[in-house]
Chain A
Amino acid sequence: MNLRRFALIAVPYIWLLALFLVPFLIVLKISLSDIALARPPYMPQLDLSAGWEGITSFFAALDFENFVFLTTDDLYWRAYLSSLQIAALSTFITLCIGYPIAYGMARAPLEWRATLLMLVILPFWTSFLIRVYAWMGILSNEGLLNQFLMWTGLISAPLTILNTNTAVYIGIVYTYLPFMILPIYAALEKMDESLLEAAEDLGCSRIQAFWLVTIPLSRNGIIAGCFLVFIPAIGEFVIPSLLGGSGTLMIGKVLWEEFFSNRDWPVASAVAIILLLILIIPIILFQRNEQKAREAEG
């Protein structure tokens, strides 16, 4: 009995250990190493054949040099700040678009809801990369959007959207919209509509009832949705590198360039470690929100 319970609990922990903790330790070790023209391109390597001396000299060679380096070049902290800003703003836009959609879905006739839910999830059936490429086709100077706008006569010269921050926002909002809609929809769908009638009965206008009842009751859904968009958006790499331009500064892109263009694995690892530390705060907050929501439901 106890053994079974232990086995049951052990599975997710082993999973976490293998797929999160071990890679994390490897990256941490690389971030403390020095760059080297070798394969792999960093020093020192752990040499167990040298015995105890090998281990001590290995640890002696590790230092925080790369982290110090990150503070000397303002590229990095500007990239972190810009990522935070882009993630925060796109989360806000996603919320503004996602909430009305979720609300509409939750108020739709019951027989429609499954279909609407399906439509929200449908984009996941094609590759994320293909969908981002499709946006390149839509947003480019000769793209569908510009052609359409010129055809309607709204503009006379094509708008430059692709390779700007605007395109990055569009890409992030588009990609992460379902993650915003689904938790809000779940919260709104559970809501008892007689609560709104009760609020009106007690003297609220429709709009007051929305602010005083609907919004507070979907609060957990809103928070969950915001984290689900914000957390991956900070580290987003594909969208800024495909849709963004030279002016788009995001930490995911910096990371990529350090790894693959500069082949400076130690600095890239340091960037990744800092990013992780930044993300841990919202992740913990998210966890706490989820736990509270579960407790409130009893």
Chain B
Amino acid sequence: MSQKVFAPWEDATEKPLIQFKGVTKKFGDFVAIDNLSLDIYQKEFFALLGPSGCGKTTMMRMLAGFEAPTHGTILLAGQDIAPVPPNKRAVNMMFQSYALFPHLSVWDNIAFGLRREGQDKDAIAARVEEMLRLTRLSKFAKRKPHQISGGQRQRVALARSLAKAPKLLLLDEPLGALDAKLRQDTQFELMDIQEKTGTTFVIVTHDQEEAMTVASRVAVMDEGRVIQVATPSVIYEAPETVYVADFIGDVNIIQGRASQDADKVRIDWAEGQPPIIGTTQKTFSPSQTCHFAIRPEKVAISTEQPEAPNVLQGRVIDIAYLGNLSTYHVELPDGTMMKAQTANTRRLSRRDITWEDNVWLSFTDTAGVLLER
């Protein structure tokens, strides 16, 4: 069974739905978005990820039409959207604060956008009912926003922004206020809705796990710039910079000097310690400073010395028990801390490694990535 993988960004003939072309946004002297160029394709579930204040909401607001770029252009389906006012854009936004109309019932909130289009009554009613079913809100149609729970309110906001079947739906931290379980349910609901409606989603989130779960591609941002845009797995497995590696998930970063031999690199990282052997496609000049990034789950921990390309000795300082996983914090002889993660397939009482134990850490020569910066 050969199913075509959804990857329009790899197809040169595919036209992006949204194009940021050298967009800069300044508030006074403050640069909120710095010369940003980015393509987002039809039917993507595109996640913006980054620390607070890096410009995610500003990007959304420019797409929705509430802010105008200081420089550069934004194209929607090939058209410059700068002269189009927010109410004429085929873009709907789900606000971080939901922004439900408190004087209208759930039903009227969802119907609000449809009524502005001047559709006839039956068409509106049918569409609202459909949205209510989709977001499982039928029971609450007559209530006012202050009479329903936070999670229900969030779904009303979602239904309202979906009702007009926009080309592009902007979700600004849509699940921020939900508990873990409801959040997970809603994530799957969102993906389901996206699949059914074929709408392009751009989602802002602080939660990297959420981005990894729902997104077709993730853009990691910092101080108004996009650092890397890639699929979640590439972001996780092959980050381009230490910043990205560090931002997504847990990682061990070891700094050292590179000496390359074909695709193998020897990293001398501490006096009197065996060098780390890594693999790379890049070229490092002799004794260039480089960073070796390896995820804790790719580091094995054992009480006996194993056979592996990289073996390091250390002492267990701390153990973080996460239920299904345990993370061991191991101190290497030069004081460097390294994390190793194992799945807890055995009961807690039968684990053979505890605090202060001397252990061996090992990993293959392809487990980590080599980064220049």
Contact = CB atoms under 8 A, between A and B. Distances in A.
Contacts of A296: 102, 144, 146
A170 interface: no
A192 B98 CA distance: 11
Interface in B152-211: 160-161, 164
B112 A201 contact: no
Nearest to A196: B99
B60 to A, nearest CB: 11
Interface stretch (A99-107, A121-129, A203-211, A237-245): A203-211
Contact of A213 (B101, B160, B164): B101
A218 B85 CA distance: 26
Contact of A197 (B66, B91, B160, B161): B66
Contact of A201 (B92, B97, B103): B92
A90 B77 CA distance: 54
A63 interface: no
Contact of A202 (B65, B97, B160): B160
A195 interface: yes
A203 B103 contact: no
A205 B65 CA distance: 13
A195 B100 CA distance: 7
A275 interface: no
Nearest to B102: A217
Contacts of B92: 201-202
A199 B97 contact: no
A66 B146 CA distance: 53
A158 interface: no
Interface residues of A, number: 20
A197 B91 CA distance: 13
A195 B161 CA distance: 13
A2 interface: no
Size category of the binding interface on chain B: 20 to 34
Q: DSSP class of A's interface residues: helix, strand, loop or mixed?
A: helix
A200 interface: yes
Given A202-B160, A203-B164, A216-B103, A208 B116 contact: yes
A21 interface: no
Q: Which of A201, A203, A208 has the most CB of B within 10 A?
A: A201
A12 interface: no
B93 interface: yes
Contacts of B100: 198
Given A194-B95, A208-B116, A298-B146, A201 B86 contact: yes
Interface in A137-194: 192, 194
A216 B161 CA distance: 21
Contacts of A213: 101
Given A197-B66, A213-B101, A298-B146, A204 B95 contact: no
Interface string B24-36: 0000000000000
Contacts of B116: 202-204, 208
A203 B117 contact: yes
B103 A198 contact: no
A202 B117 CA distance: 9
Given A192-B97, A194-B95, A197-B95, A202 B113 contact: yes
A202 B164 contact: yes
Contact of A192 (B86, B99, B103, B164): B99
Nearest to A215: B103
B64 interface: yes
A203 B113 CA distance: 6
A195 B160 CA distance: 13
B64 A201 contact: yes
Nearest to B146: A298
A115 B144 CA distance: 36
A253 B103 CA distance: 42
Contact of B103 (A202, A204, A217, A298): A217
A200 B86 contact: yes
Contacts of A195: 99, 101
Nearest to A195: B99
Contacts of A204: 87, 116
Nearest to A193: B99
B92 to A, nearest CB: 6
B99 A198 contact: yes
A213 B103 CA distance: 8
Contacts of A200: 65-66, 85-87
Contacts of B99: 192, 194-195, 197-198
A212 to B, nearest CB: 8
Nearest to B144: A296
Nearest to A298: B146
A131 to B, nearest CB: 37
B103 to A, nearest CB: 5
A194 B57 CA distance: 13
Interface in A213-239: 213, 216-217, 219
A217 B100 CA distance: 12
Contacts of A203: 87, 113, 116-117, 164
Interface of A: 192, 194-195, 197-205, 208, 212-213, 216-217, 219, 296, 298
Given A197-B95, A201-B161, 19 more contacts: A192-B97, A195-B101, A197-B93, A198-B101, A199-B101, A200-B65, A200-B85, A200-B86, A200-B87, A201-B86, A201-B91, A201-B92, A202-B116, A202-B164, A203-B116, A203-B164, A204-B116, A217-B102, A296-B146
13 contacts: A192-B99, A194-B95, A197-B86, A200-B85, A201-B64, A202-B92, A203-B87, A204-B87, A212-B112, A213-B101, A217-B102, A296-B144, A298-B146
